[in-house]
Structure 1
Amino acid sequence: MELVDRFLAAVVSPDPGALADCYAERVVIEMPFAVPGLMPARLETTREELRTRFRAGTAVRRYTDLSNVRVHECADGSTVIVEYDVNGLMHATGERFVLRFAMVMTLEDGLIAHTRDYADPIAGARALGRLPELVAALGGRPS
């Protein structure tokens, strides 16, 4: 599927803002495992706002490559499930990380119009150095 191939290539592109070109002008992103206070569980946004967000992330980290990619096309033709691990590098520390994702994408007119993104919030907080914020958001105190 061309859009999924383009999406996966853009995830590790030198210009992550190009990833936004895979999305519809208006998009809904749901994150069922989002931790309240750190990330919204639902985001209604635009392609250009995503472009800005994706590019801003490059100040902190660089996604270097993908592994364990699996694509599942659904019978309805407008839904695709993409599983992948993104390998990256934190700029400040040089530390390498791996984040696992499963995304349920709804496609309209050859673009991503809606996603449900499943990711491990602990791994994400660890990679970004935000474990204390995660613990606080969960109602605990950092040790």
Structure 2
Amino acid sequence: MEIIDRFLAAVVSPDPGDLADCYAEHVVIEMPFAVPGLVPARVETTREELRARFRAGTAVRRYTELSGVRVHECADPATVVLEYDVHGLMHATGERFVLRFVMVMTLRDGLIAHTRDYADPIAGARALGRLPELANALAGG
């Protein structure tokens, strides 16, 4: 599936625009494991807002490779389940990290229109140096 191949290549591209270009003009991103107060559980956004968000992310970290990639096609051809581990490097510390993702994507006109992103919030907070913020959010602070 072309968009999935483009998406996977774009995750590790040094140009954040490559990843944003995989998304529809208007997109919904849901994160069922998001921690309230730290990350929103649902975002309705645009491709250009995603482009800015991805660009800001590359100032802090760089995704360098993918492993464990599995693509599961569904009975509905507009739905794809994607599993992968993304390996990265934090610019400030040089620390390496691995984050595991499962994404349920809904495609429209060959682009990603909706995702449900399942990721480990502890691993994400650890990689980004945000464990104290995670603990505070979990404690209701």
User: What is the TM-score with the length of structure 2 in the denominator?
Assistant: 0.98
Deviation readout 1:42-70 (Å, 9 max, x if unpaired) = 00000000000001101110000000000
Gaps of 5+ in 2: none
Measure the CA separation in 1 of the matches of 2:16 and 2:59. 11
1:29 aligns with 2:18: no
Q: 1:140 to 1:43 in 2, by over 3 A?
A: closer
Residue identity matched to 2:134: L
The residue aligned with 2:19 is: 19
Distance 1:26 1:116 in 2: 15
Instruction: Give the superposition deviation at 1:17.
Output: 2.5
Aligned length: 141
Q: Superposition pairs for residues 1-143 of structure 1, below 5 Å?
A: 1-139=1-139
Q: Any runs of at least 4 consecutive aligned residues in structure 1 with deviations exceeding 2 A, and if so which?
A: none
What one-letter code is carried by the residue in structure 1 that aligns with 2:130?
R
Q: Which letter maps to 2:127?
A: A
Q: Structure 2 counterpart of 1:101, which letter?
A: F
Paired-residue identity, % = 86
TM-score (norm 1): 0.97
In 2, Cα distance between the equivalents of 1:124 and 1:81? 20
Residue 140 of structure 1 and its aligned partner are, at CA, apart by 7.0
Q: How much is the aligned-residue C-alpha RMSD, in angstroms?
A: 1.0
- Give the secondary-structure state (helix, strand or coil) at the position aligned to 1:59: helix
Name the CA distance, whole Å, in 2 between partners of 1:90 and 1:25.
29
